[in-house]
Amino acid sequence: MGEGTIKTMLKVLKEWEWVTITRKGVELTDFGRSSFLGFGLEFTQIFNSKYAVGVYQQGIIVRGGAKDVTNGMKQRDMAVRNDAEGASVFIMSEGKMIFPANWNLDEQDPAFASELRATGMSEGDALVLVGADTEHVAKAAAAAVGLAMR
């Protein structure tokens, strides 16, 4: 995205009282944070270099998002378009932790499946694990993917 697009987006978010803009940077307001959470998105700290490349990784749970995932490529491509190195998607379907399209993590990588469950995922949820060279990019790309899945 270009500088003008970013400035316009920030202007709108400020008008909606979702962010405050100071010399130190941009920060979500309490209202912005609760509005973001109202989308059914939840950041979660998880790191696994087997499934996502990048020095920094950010997970985002998309409540009810499993229905939007076929093979995870759409979500990975969205992350990459937002400057991430890559992303992997995991869904909970029929009580199983799945790495789409059909790799059963409970059987193939039970330790990681357990770690994913510990994030609070529920039936029908998706978790996108985004990797990037900076923490900021990982978080921003995860948010972009999560919002695109809404």
Which residue ranges make up each domain of the chain? 1-38, 39-148
pLDDT tens digits, one per residue of 48-63? 989 989 999 999 999 9
| pLDDT at 2 exceeding the cut of 80 | no
Count Cβ neighbours within 10 Å for each residue of 118-149 and write b for 16 or more, e otherwise.
ebebeeebbbbbbbbeeeebbbbbbbbbbebb
Q: What's the mean pLDDT in 8-12?
A: 80
Which contiguous run of DSSP H or E holds residue 16?
none
Q: Phi and psi for 33 in degrees, rounded to 5? A: -65, -45
pLDDT tens digits, one per residue of 38-97? 778 899 999 998 998 999 999 999 999 999 899 999 999 999 999 999 999 999 999 999
What angle (nearest 5°) sits at the alpha carbon of residue 97, between those of residues 93 and 99? Answer: 100
**What superfamily in CATH does domain 39-148 come from?**
GAD-like domain (3.30.1360.30)
Structure tokens at 42: 């939840």
pLDDT tens digits, one per residue of 116-142? 999 999 999 999 999 999 998 999 999
What angle (nearest 5°) sits at the alpha carbon of residue 85, between those of residues 105 and 27? Answer: 100
Contacts of residue 75, Cβ cutoff 8 Å, sequence gap at least 6 = 69, 87, 89, 126, 128, 145, 148, 149
